[in-house]
Structure 1
Amino acid sequence: METGVPEPAERRGDAPAARAAGVATEPAAPAGHPGWTASLLAERPAPDLRGDLSRFGVGLGLASLYGLALGARQGGVSFAHHAAGVPAALVAVACLGVPALTIVLTLFDATLDAPRALSATARAAAATGLVLGGLAPAAALFVVTSASDFTAALMGMLGLAVGGVIGVIVLLRDLRAALQRDGGLLLLAGHGAALLGFAGFAVALALRVWWGTLPILKEGVL
């Protein structure tokens, strides 16, 4: 036998160690891509204007699906009225409520800039749209098969309430997190009061918009 030539690992009885070393050096399998829903609701480390506007638009589109479901009770032009009316509340809260909240927070020395407010608003709109879009098939079934207008309006309003509450919760949580990152919670009581006041204002504004634009609600009460 020739000397100086190392024997294979298998001959020396080191096969288990060699295999273990081989396994340890193999590259890890790439992680799977997150789903569309997870990507839509994912928290972003920094505001992204283009991405936030896209996410806000997707939320509006999903919310309009719920409006189409409500319009199925009357059909015709009612489809357009409800499809525009449901997301109109999200636009009203984003354009009127969030800027007002940002101004109020500055009175409490809160450093909440516009990009972060937009990012939180877009994520909240996406959450609301996902809930309403998911409830759209059930809402269509209920409003079409309900014997009375009141029952149809009640079921439609229930879905709107669920989606709206979830959106407000997501928005307030993201705004509070942004304030904490910037050290803006030194006046915690004042900031909390401002956020709670905004929540009440957002709910009242959304209800006012829905009452004025959704015929199914008026017909269910009148």
Structure 2
Amino acid sequence: MQAQAPCLPIASSPASGAEAGVPGPAERRDGAPSVSSTGAAAEPTAHGGHPGWTAALLAERSPSLLRDDMSRFGIGVGLASLYGLALGARQGGVSLVQHAAGVPAAVVAVAGLGVPALLIVLTLFNAPLDPPRALSATARAAAATGLVLGGLAPAAALFVVTSGSDLTAALLGLLGLAVGGVLGVHVLLRDLRAALRGNGSLALLAGHGAALLGFAGFAVALALRVWWATLPILKAGAL
């Protein structure tokens, strides 16, 4: 009688996910292959978009650096000169240079004459406004004006060149100047008003508002005077 070897139970290997009815990592319940979060077909992670060039140009920066403000102001002046070139395209030649210099000259005049005068007046009302904040607001206003005028330059060139009347060309050119100038003054006054809001008594706030309103009228009158003296297209339309 032969001795029988003891029969040891054989441990069965765990059932695979497919045999157990549980979808494995390579398949979903509907039978389609699943995609790993680290695989090539994984959905891209959403990244925050970077601000555009115009948004960065007009964005408030704190603290504001003199170099950045001067760069922003220079960009605004350069864009405004593009509108001047568009107006000068009607006559060509030397008129191109005259208009390219005349359009941004009003921006420089308001920034160089009007803003310092406004600061002096606000100082009389004990306004908590320092020169760096005023310079930053002026730079943003110049950039806003330049962006508007630079954007209108192609349309202005088309209208002034194809217009059959000098008066119509002058009115169209002046309309674009008015839009850019008004927007620039609005940005400047908005920034200055935000810096003055909530500081001082009611009488001082009323004085601040009167000073800002007077500056708006002065800026419009000064810009029109500079444009009338430097832009031949406006004089040709008045003849």
Tell me the TM-score range normalised by the shorter chain. Answer: 0.7 to 0.9
Higher percent of residues as helix? 1
1:188 Cα shift?
A: 1.4
Contact kept? 1:85, 1:210, Cα under 8 Å? yes
Indicate whether 1:148 and 2:165 are aligned.
Answer: yes
Aligned residue runs from structure 1 range 77-96, under 5 A:
77-96=94-113
The separation in 1 between residues aligned to 2:234 and 2:86, in whole angstroms, is: 13
* Counterpart position of 1:67: 84
The yes-or-no answer on 1:53 pairing with 2:49 is no
Give the letter for the 1:43 counterpart: E
Q: Counterpart of 1:202? A: 219
Quote the residue 2:185 is aligned against: 168
Shift of 1:106: 0.6
- For residues 78-128 of structure 1, give each alpha carbon's deviation from its aligned partner in whole angstroms, at most 9, with x where no partner exists: 000000000000000000000000000011110211111100000000000
Equivalences, count: 208
Higher relative contact order (CA 8 A, sep 6+): 1
Query: What's the secondary structure of 1:47's corresponding residue?
Result: coil
**What does 1:1-222 align with in structure 2 at a 5 Å threshold?**
29-180=46-197, 183-186=198-201, 187-222=204-239
C-alpha displacement at 1:29, in angstroms? 4.3
TM-score normalized with structure 1 length? 0.86
Structure 1 contact 109–184 (Cα < 8 Å) conserved? no
- Separation (CA, whole Å) in 2 of partners of 1:184 and 1:206: 31
SS in 2 for 1:45: coil
> Shift in Å at residue 44 of structure 1?
1.6
Unaligned runs of 5+ in 2: 1-10, 12-19, 26-36, 38-44
Amino acid in the other structure paired with 1:61: G
AA matched with 2:212: L
User: What is the match of residue 5 of structure 1?
Assistant: none
The TM-score with structure 2 as length reference comes to: 0.80
Instruction: Work out the CA distance in 1 between the residues paired with 2:117 and 2:207.
Output: 15
Equivalent in the alignment of 1:4: none
In structure 1, C-alpha distance between the alignment counterparts of 2:113 and 2:126, rounded to whole Å: 21
| Alignment gaps of 5+ in structure 1 | 2-10, 16-21, 23-27
Opposite residue 115 of structure 1, the aligned amino acid is P
Identity %: 80
Measured in 2, the distance between the counterparts of 1:184 and 1:201 equals: 25
Name the amino acid aligned to 1:32. Answer: G
Larger radius of gyration: 2
Superposed structure 1 runs of 4+ greater than 3 Å apart: none
